[in-house]
Structure 1
Amino acid sequence: MRATKLIIVAAMLGVPAASAGAQNRTDPYAHNAIERGQFSEAEASLRAQLLVEPAKPELLLNLAAIYARTNRLEQAEALYARVMAGEDVSLLLRPDYALGAHAIAQRGLRKLDVQRTAGR
């Protein structure tokens, strides 16, 4: 695995997120918009960033989580699959807690299964 990075998909997957002060000022992963529930703004930001960095797991995971939250389960699943097909990088979810991108994607996929079951 390469160096640990900061990602804020944690809250959507049931892991307490890092404080806003720990975030990059430019907010490349749309953490602030996600935290405020501004999913349209966050989605637009993440999609624009994915044009520049199409395989970046931090972007893919956050966009997948937004899709899951907005009941676009197939799109979320496709993004989680893209993460699983890529390198399993270590991502810092909080200052004291890191997890691999694949493990986060697997957790997201399990949550999609629960959503699908609940929706039946």
Structure 2
Amino acid sequence: MRALKVIIVAAMLGVPAVSAAAQDRPDPYSHNAIEAGQFAEAETSLRAQLALEPTKPELLINLAAIYARTNRLDAAQTMYDRALAAENVSLLLRPDFAQDSHVIAKRGMVKLERQRMAMR
């Protein structure tokens, strides 16, 4: 049985949420910073957390979103690949909707491909 997690997924994926595990830490997945366009701040925070938890899908997916938004598509691809290599967990994207981390990563990869095509 997969663990159900509550996550704040980056705005690139279009579905904000509240993390129950994050109640004691302000913005642990950098959702607010990403929403505010503070990508450098969000990236710094996510990379620091990723050093402690290198396979945590929430961190990998949000860092991939930052890389995609700042046109570092190869780095974004790497983060999505790492999210796919990590455990597939169910992430609560909003109170009434959960989705597997692998599905979210694959959707992000599709968006990356569209972004690459648009840049050609």
For the residues of structure 2 that align with 1:84 and 1:96, how far apart are their CA atoms? 24
Residue in 1 aligned with 2:119? 119
The one-letter amino acid of 1:24's match is: Q
The Cα of 1:10 is off from its aligned counterpart by 5.0
Comparing 79-88 and 106-115, the one that deviates more: 79-88
CA contact (8 A) 2:4 2:90 kept: yes
Q: What TM-score do the two structures reach when normalised by structure 2?
A: 0.90
For the residues of structure 2 that align with 1:96 and 1:11, how far apart are their CA atoms? 17
Residue in 1 aligned with 2:23? 24
Find runs of 4+ consecutive structure 1 residues off by over 3 angstroms.
Answer: none
The Cα of 1:67 is off from its aligned counterpart by 0.2
The one-letter amino acid of 2:23's match is: N
The Cα of 1:110 is off from its aligned counterpart by 0.1
Comparing 23-32 and 101-110, the one that deviates more: 23-32
CA root-mean-square deviation: 2.0
How many residues matched? 119
Alignment of 1:43-54 (within 5 A): 43-54=43-54
Distance 1:34 1:25, change over 3 A: farther
CA contact (8 A) 1:4 1:91 kept: yes
What's the CA shift string for 1:72-103, capped at 9, x where partnerless? Answer: 00000001001111111000111111000100
Distance 1:37 1:69, change over 3 A: same
The Cα of 1:44 is off from its aligned counterpart by 0.2
Where structure 1 has 5 or more consecutive residues not aligned to the other structure, the ranges are none
Q: For residue 75 of structure 1, give the secondary structure of its aligned residue in structure 2.
A: helix
The Cα of 1:11 is off from its aligned counterpart by 2.5
Alignment of 1:1-120 (within 5 A): 1-14=1-14, 16-18=15-17, 24-26=23-25, 27-120=27-120
CA contact (8 A) 1:10 1:93 kept: no
For the residues of structure 1 that align with 2:46 and 2:118, how far apart are their CA atoms? 28
The one-letter amino acid of 1:18's match is: A
For the residues of structure 1 that align with 2:35 and 2:18, how far apart are their CA atoms? 11
Q: What TM-score do the two structures reach when normalised by structure 1?
A: 0.90
